[in-house]
Amino acid sequence: MEETSTRAPVAPALHSPTPASRRRAIGRGTFALRGIAVTILWATSVIIGGILPAGELRWIWLVGHLAALVVGLGAAVMIEYAGFLWTIGRGTLHEVCATEERLAPLAWLGFGGMLLTGMFLSPDVSNPLTALKMIVVLAIGLNAVATARLTVVLHGLPDDLPFRRAPWRLRSWSLATGLVSQLAWWSAVLLGTLNTASRGA
């Protein structure tokens, strides 16, 4: 009689030079380019934002800023929640990958919207709170690139691999990107709100 095992197979892709690991090696360059692209877009937003005067339509851009926040942060929370459920054994790796695949475009859309609308809110980068927020915003973008790279690696693993059986490097990477993402998003929200409050608005 055939014996069925409930133990998830060990991730072979992380241990041997398989075609999957070659694909990941090729992917590394692509992700470095994405990191550079994110940095350039971020710098463009901050520099142009520092030059543009605050127009009468500023309130419209602020509404857009908050709408982009809902979309971006909402998607990020859902992705990290799927990851959290996997870490505590209440969700599968397949669900994490499927959620990331569906919601990552929304997270990027929201992040891009924050860069675009923030530019028209005339950020004052000489204000330490604003300067700190901009650094945190860059961290969100670069961490999102790292998360996309992590997802490529996760896709190469068995769908039902429990978190505790994943290689420690991958576990640390998953926990680190999830924590950095949530910490950075919420710090940017807090700093943005403090900035508005300090204006007496």
Tell which one of 69, 93, 107, 166 touches ligand HEM (CB under 6 A). 69
143 touches ligand HEM by CB under 6 A: no
Shortest separation between residue 106's beta carbon and ligand HEM, angstroms: 13
144 touches ligand HEM by CB under 6 A: no
Shortest separation between residue 67's beta carbon and ligand HEM, angstroms: 11
> What 3-state DSSP class applies to 89?
coil
77 touches ligand HEM by CB under 6 A: no
Distance (Å, whole) CA 112 – CA 102: 17
Shortest separation between residue 89's beta carbon and ligand HEM, angstroms: 31
Distance (Å, whole) CA 42 – CA 141: 8
Residue with tokens 């505790």: 164
65 touches ligand HEM by CB under 6 A: yes
Show the tokens assigned to 64.
């857009």
Shortest separation between residue 53's beta carbon and ligand HEM, angstroms: 12
Stretch that binds ligand HEM, among 5-13, 28-36, 148-156, 191-199 (CB under 6 A): 191-199
115 touches ligand HEM by CB under 6 A: yes
| 103/154 with CB nearer ligand HEM | 103
Tell which one of 20, 45, 166, 178 touches ligand HEM (CB under 6 A). 45
Tell which one of 11, 49, 93, 155 touches ligand HEM (CB under 6 A). 49
Show the tokens assigned to 164.
């505790």
Backbone angles phi, psi at 52, to 5 degrees: -60, 135
Residue count at the site for ligand HEM (CB under 6 A)?
A: 25
**What per-residue string of b and e applies to 132-165 under the rule 16 or more CB within 10 Å gives b?**
ebbebbbbbbbbbbbbbbbbbbbbbbbeebebee
123 touches ligand HEM by CB under 6 A: yes
Q: Are 97 and 154 in contact (CB under 8 A)?
A: yes
User: Which residues lie below 8 Å from residue 13, measured CB to CB, with a gap of 6+?
Assistant: 20, 21, 24, 153, 156, 157
Residue 184 to residues 14, 117, 120, 188: CA-CA distances in angstroms? 29, 19, 22, 6
Residues that bind ligand HEM (CB under 6 A): 45-46, 49, 62, 65, 69, 111, 114-115, 118-119, 121-123, 137, 140, 185, 188-189, 192-193, 195-196, 199, 201
